[in-house]
Chain A
Amino acid sequence: MRYAILLMGAPYSDQASHSALRFARALLARGHRLETVFFYHDGVYNAARLAAPPQDEPHLVDGWAALNAEHGVTLQVCIAAALRRGLMDEREASRHGKSGYSVEAPFELTGLGQLIDLGLQCDRLVTFGP
C-alpha cells in the first residue's frame, strides 16, 4: 500500500516524532511504500538542520534523512508553517535577506496543497500529533 505520514509534533518536546519514525520503519519493513512525510504545525522543527541532540539520544533529523536515502521517502515541510518559525532553506533565506539557513535537502519546503493531494491519493494517511 502507499502510505503518507503527517507529523505535527515538535521533536524532543513531544513523542510524536519518535512514534512517527518508528511507524514509518515498521510499515516499510512490511513491504509498503511510504511516499512522503509531511511536516506541519510544530512538526516543521523536525527539519532543523542544526539540531544537535546528545549522542545517546535518537537523532531525528538523521532518522528522517535516512528514510529518504534508503527508501526514497520525500520529506515535505509546509513552507508557511516553517517560515513563521524561522525554518527556511538557502533560497528562502536569501529571499528574506537572512544570513544562514536552517533547512536543507533532503527536506523540501512545499505548499499545504501537497498535503491534501497526498491525503487523497495515498491509500493511507496517518497523523501523529503532539
Chain B
Amino acid sequence: MKLHIVNCAPDAGRVVQQALSAMTTDDRLLLIEDGVQGALPSLVDGFSGIEGRLYVLREDLEARGLMSRHDDRVTVVDVDGFVTLTEQAEQTLSWY
C-alpha cells in the first residue's frame, strides 16, 4: 500500500486526476495544503472511486477556515496522523 499526497486544489489543473490514475485499489490519498479544498462536499465526488481511503490534513483545513465544511466521508488526520499514514505505507508519492 502506498500513500499519495496531493497539495493542489481540484480546480488547479490535472494533478488530482494524475494521482488517482496512479493509485492501486488499496492505496491511500492524503490532501494537504490547497489540496484540502477537495474535501468540500461539493468537490469530494471527484474522489468517489477511493471512498474510505481519502484523508485530509486537519491543520490545513483549520488554517483555511474549512474545518467544519469538509465532507464526512473524508477522514481528518493531524500531522501525527500524517506521519502514521507514512509509517503504514510502503512508499509515498507526492503530486503537486
Contact flag (A, B; Cβ within 8 A): yes
CA distance A124 to B87 in the complex (A): 8
Query: Which B residues are CB-close (under 8 A) to A27?
Result: 83, 86
Q: Known contacts being A1-B87, A15-B33, A129-B7, is A124 close to B92, with CB within 8 Å?
A: yes
Counted as pairs of residues, one from A and one from B, with CB atoms less than 8 Å apart, the total is 54
Q: Which partner residue on chain A sits nearest B94 by CB separation?
A: A127
- What does the 1/0 interface line of B67-96 toward A look like (CB < 8 Å)? 000000000000110111011010111111
Residues B91 and A19 in contact, CB atoms below 8 Å apart? no
Q: Could you say which of B59, B79, B91 has the most chain A C-beta atoms within 10 Å of its C-beta?
A: B79
Contact between B7 and A26, CB atoms less than 8 A apart: no
A69 an interface residue at 8 Å Cβ cutoff? no
21 pairs, CB–CB < 8 Å, chain A vs chain B: A9-B96, A15-B7, A15-B33, A15-B34, A15-B60, A16-B33, A16-B96, A19-B33, A22-B79, A23-B82, A23-B83, A27-B83, A27-B86, A29-B80, A30-B80, A124-B89, A127-B92, A127-B93, A127-B96, A129-B96, A130-B96
B residues with a Cβ closer than 8 A to A are: 5, 7, 32-34, 59-60, 79-80, 82-84, 86-87, 89, 91-96
